[in-house]
Amino acid sequence: MEPDPEAVRAYMVAKDMRQPDDHSAVTPPEVRFFLVYKHRDDAREVRETEIRREQEECWERAQAAQTAAWEHKEHMRKAREWGRANSFTVGTRGRIAAVVWSGYQQAMGITL
């Protein structure tokens, strides 16, 4: 089955092997080139699209993790401030005591 001449022309134009305004008949070498390489290019394009989609998903997950980490850091900072304001001994770093953390969550109406 012979390929559509317009498809061959469009492919050759996309490969910069034919001028866009050249509407002459397609040649047998162009048809052979089309038949050999078109499916390879299509498969490569599908793979690249899939890779791009995976990279975008990975980036979105990384952004979500970064946002969650920032929010957690802010909650920790606010819990320390709340603990100090409510007469608890709270360090500047490290683990926050469970009593302080649960008190902060209850006071702020937070469930994490």
Enclosing domain of residue 77: 5-108
The string of pLDDT tens digits covering residues 43-69 is: 999 999 999 999 999 999 999 999 999
- pLDDT score at 112: 62
Q: Would you call 26 exposed, middle or buried from its count of C-beta atoms within 10 A (0-12, 13-18, 19+)?
A: buried
Q: Which residues of the chain have pLDDT under 70?
A: 112
How many domains would you assign to the chain? 1
Structure confidence at residue 53 (pLDDT): 98
Task: Specify the DSSP element, H or E, that contains 50.
Answer: helix 28-85
Model pTM score: 0.58
Count of beta carbons in the 10 Å neighbourhood of residue 76: 15
